[in-house]
Amino acid sequence: MADFETPKFREYPVVPQIKEGEMAGDGPFVSRAEFDTDLGYPGELPEDWKEKTLDKMGDLLGRYRSLQVFMDSCIKCGACTDKCHYFIGTNDPKNMPVSRQDLMRKVYRRYFTFAGKYFPKLVGAVDLTEDVLDEWYNYYHQCSECRRCSVFCPMGIDTAEVTMAAREILANVGKAQKYSNQIIQKVYKIGNNLGLPGPALEGILEDLEEEVEEDTGVPVKYNMDKEGCDALLMTPSADFFAEPHIDGLIGYGKVLHELGITWTVSSEASEAANFGLFIGSYDNIQRVSMRIREAAIKLKVKRIIFGECGHAWRVAYSFLNTLAGPFDFLDQNYPIPQHILEVTYGALQEGKLRMNKEENDHLTMTFHDSCNIARASRMGDYPGGQFDIPRAVIQAACNNFVDMDSDTIKDATFCCGGGGGLLTDDLMELRIKGALPRMEALKQVTEESGVTNIAAICAICKSQFTKTLPYYGFEMDAIMSVHQLVSEAIVMTGSEQEKDLDGTDEEEAES
């Protein structure tokens, strides 16, 4: 299949030995001018690339406190060195978070600090050459911006911030990544990452309506571009056709229907994902975000609800108000924006949803915390709600739930291996190897607790697991959406499921 070996499960999770140069290479496909220019990048290496690189670096150092402080404050203590899933899976020391940061820090020291200008060898500063840029391109595309290292760093250094800055600098000298830029361009031209045009989307949603009505006897609506609904649903476009994503979308529809919340998707903003985050471009994150504001105004909704997508929720929760706010035209009685899990959880708390957990009795679930939700956002009204709410919803829909090892969940969760703009076939080796720590934790609970399936709330995690699970000896459909479980268990008012449970004689039930 591919010219690399799937890593073997380790008997004990010992810290790997370093193997220098293990993942050296050219990195993912470089973008072409046709994808770049619309995003504001030159698309080719300019003659004065060195000057441009340093200028952009200086510019970003002056714009992002995170970058400036993080370049200075690393003490090389080594706390992060065994925390990155890509290092654990590949053994390449340049995948240790501090080494990844150092690729840029060495250049920062050489050109922006006294010590590096005059004593480069002493502090490990290097000259900026084309080889250095190539090495940046390769290794800054082996980081999924998952922030696991930042949890363990005594200085709070977040490698994701450095990776984003590096990618932004690279893009400005014609070394952008094709996968991310092509996708962003599709968002601008067509409205979503997958390039699904409006009519195709409408067809899919109509089919879903038919399918759900056939299954349940309830006419659940999956609207597109319908003005005047209560809510605009922003969901990753994978939810419109990929498995198991679409089963989650079916679930959102059932929950919202049962709660009497009318909703619509927008054909122009038919994508919750925001790859602007991955390439570290403030302009592009903002431009992608503005579509949501414009769609909400155009469709005259009162609320914005986000579906299951990890980085989309980071951008929505943490940045949307900054980038596309203020949202004074929406109903202020609801969180802006709100996560579908917050909606479902709140309704469960209030006893507004009837669940028949037996529907999922054949499953024993575990839950994969997605990095951007775990470490870069929140759900509910207290810190850590992002861990409890999905688990509570799963447990409301399924009787059997077991958590994986505590070092691999919640804010210590391991990335699926495909986040941060790396979910592309040209990085398959990295994706498979980077999945190792998560697969090991899953293996443990399957053996010790009989776990059959793993649920996630991120489109990238779901797609990545569909690919990686078979490499590690699991079934590819072991990955499920959280709202897929909800969809199976929910008993909507007036549905066939309700009749089955309560008996067909309605008069008897009433008396």
Partner 1 sequence: MSAFYALLFTVAFLVLIIGLTKKIIQYSRVPAPLKIPVTPAPLTKGGVAIRLAKETILFTALFRSNKWTWLFGWLFHVSLFVVLLNHLRFFIKDVPLPLVLLQNVGEYAAFTMFIGLAGLLIRRIFVARVKYISSPSDYLWLILLMVIGFSGIVMRFISHTDIVAVKEFSLGLLAFDWQALPTDFPLMVHLFLVAVLMILLPFSKLLHIPGLFFAPTRNQVDNPREERHIAPWAAELDAEKNKAQPK
Query: Taking CB under 8 A as the rule, does residue 481 contact partner 1?
Result: no
Q: Which stretch binds partner 1 (CB under 8 A): 27-35, 225-233, 235-243, 331-339?
A: 331-339
366 — phi, psi (to 5°)? -130, 170
Q: How far is 97 from 93, CA to CA, in rounded Å?
A: 9
Site for partner 1 in 450-479 (CB under 8 A): none
Distances (CA, A) of 52 to 45, 279, 284, 459: 10, 18, 20, 36
Rounded distance between C-alpha atoms, residue 102 and residue 78, angstroms: 12
Provide CB contacts within 8 A for 379, sequence distance 6+. Answer: 339, 341, 342, 345, 373, 385, 386, 389, 390
Q: Could you tell me the smallest distance in angstroms from the CB atom of residue 128 to partner 1?
A: 18
289 vs 463, which CB is nearer to partner 1? 289
Q: How far is the CB of 484 from partner 1 (least distance, A)?
A: 26
Complex with partner 1: residue 160 or 208, whichever CB lies closer = 160
Nearer to partner 1, 136 or 471 (CB): 136
Stretch that binds partner 1, among 26-34, 37-45, 198-206, 315-323 (CB under 8 A): 315-323
CB atoms within 10 A of CB 41: 23
Residues 312, 303: Cα–Cα separation, whole Å = 17
| Region near partner 1 per CB under 8 A, out of 13-21, 49-57, 229-237, 242-250 | 13-21
Rounded-to-integer distance, Cα 373 and Cα 40, Å? 29
Phi-psi region of 377 (alpha: psi -120 to 50; beta: other; left: phi over 0): beta
Q: What are phi and psi of 47, to 5 degrees?
A: -60, -40
- Residues 91-110: x where in contact with partner 1 by CB under 8 A, - otherwise, as a string: --x--x-xx--x--------
Tokens 């067509």 sit on residue: 190
Cβ within 8 Å of residue 109, ≥6 positions away: 115, 116, 120, 123, 124, 125
Rounded distance, CA 73 to CA 94, Å? 19
With respect to partner 1, which residue has the nearer C-beta, 101 or 344?
101
Give Dmax (Cα) for the chain.
90
Q: Is 19 in the site for partner 1 (CB under 8 A)?
A: no
Q: Give yes or no for residue 159 binding partner 1 (CB under 8 A).
A: no
- The residue (of 71 and 492) whose beta carbon lies closer to partner 1 is 71
Q: What is the spatial distance between Cα 237 and Cα 218, in angstroms, rounded to a whole number?
A: 25
Q: Is 65 in the site for partner 1 (CB under 8 A)?
A: yes
Please name the amino acid found at residue 469: L
Q: CB-wise, 205 or 285, nearer to partner 1? A: 285
Interface of this chain with partner 1, residues 278 to 297, rule: CB under 8 A = 282-283
CA angle 449, 452, 457 (to 5 degrees): 110
Is residue 449 part of the contact set for partner 1 (CB under 8 A)?
A: no
Handedness of CA 21, 98, 43, 431 (dihedral sign): positive
Distance, in Å, from the CA atom of 423 to the CA atom of 431, rounded to the nearest integer, reads: 8
Per CB under 8 A, the segment of 68-76, 190-198, 225-233, 396-404 that binds partner 1 is 68-76
The dihedral region occupied by 78, where left means phi > 0, alpha psi between -120 and 50, and beta the remainder, is left
Name the minimum Å distance from CB 339 to partner 1.
Answer: 11
Closest CB to partner 1 among 37 and 332? 332
Q: Closer to partner 1 at the Cβ: 10 or 63? A: 63
Binding letters toward partner 1, positions 334-353, x by CB under 8 A: -xxx----------------
- Interacting residue with partner 1 among 79, 261, 402, 476 (CB under 8 A): 79
Nearer to partner 1, 24 or 77 (CB): 77
Query: How many residues bind to partner 1 according to rule CB under 8 A?
Result: 70
Residue of the chain from 114, 214, 260, 503 that contacts partner 1 (CB under 8 A): 114
Which one of 321, 444, 452, 466 is in contact with partner 1 (CB under 8 A)?
321
Q: Which of 31, 35, 43, 83 binds partner 1 (CB under 8 A)?
A: 83
| Chain contacts with partner 1 (rule: CB under 8 A) | 15, 17-18, 61-66, 68-70, 72-83, 93, 96, 98-99, 102, 113-115, 121-124, 147, 150-158, 161, 282-283, 317-319, 321-322, 325-326, 335-337, 374-378, 382-384, 386-387, 411
